[in-house]
Structure 1
Amino acid sequence: MTIHIRQNALQGLQFTATANDHDLPIDMPPPQGDGPDPHDFFDTALGACKALTVTLYAQRKGIPLLSIDVDVQRDDADEKKGVYRLKAVLKLTGELTDEQREELLSVAGRCPIHKLMTQTDVQVSTELAAAA
């Protein structure tokens, strides 16, 4: 899969990412732009993965989860030192026992993006396309 990022205006800071035929705006945070910025999408990927993973698991196991909201809190104060902290807070709605709530919390900790961010050696290469 390829995600395409295109600049909206020459020399501007607003871009559009296209993934699976869906357009997503990319900008800089205020005062340079209106956001969301690339960090927001990184953090969003974690929260979205947790929400989807928990929902699918609950459906498969017959757990009476009605809805889930996920807040992802970022602490990037030490990012320049190599530490980027994310805290996901789950709000589960439904007639859930304490045991089911703990089970769903455990499942959220094993979502694919969480594993990707914490257990995988992600290798990134950057290259130039051939000149037109």
Structure 2
Amino acid sequence: MLAACTVGPDTAGRTVTDDAAQPSPPESPPPGTVAPQTPTPPSADVGPHPYVGMWVTADGHIRQELLANGRYDEARGARQSAYTGSYRVLGNRIEYVDDTGFSADGTFDGDVLHHGGYVFYREGSEAQRRAGEGRR
């Protein structure tokens, strides 16, 4: 789409352009007010917390992946994404809110997570290996 543009002299003889497509200069805030600040993105050198990754029950039936973006995805048996939602970690505690609004919490003890009456193990950890040996 083309915008109409006219060029002609003003009353002092200078050339003036009337172009609707040109942006206006930004307005200054009124005196005595503070301009809104643009949020600063998190520092690139801050990594995810140490609990990000896959957590599984000893029998492998429940698999819960804690994603670095604060989301989780839990599979149960053959049912992928049985539960999804957000979480936050405070020290060794985790608080979940699933996408339906249900909330729960849990506690980390190294590579072991106690949550909802279940015990989860960090996938590939020594704790998971020991738990698997105990089931034989």
TM-score, normalised on structure 2? 0.28
- Which of structures 1 and 2 has the larger relative contact order (alpha carbons within 8 angstroms, sep 6+)? 1
Give the structure with higher Rg (CA). 2
Higher helix proportion, which one? 1
Higher strand proportion, which one? 2
TM-score, normalised on structure 1? 0.29
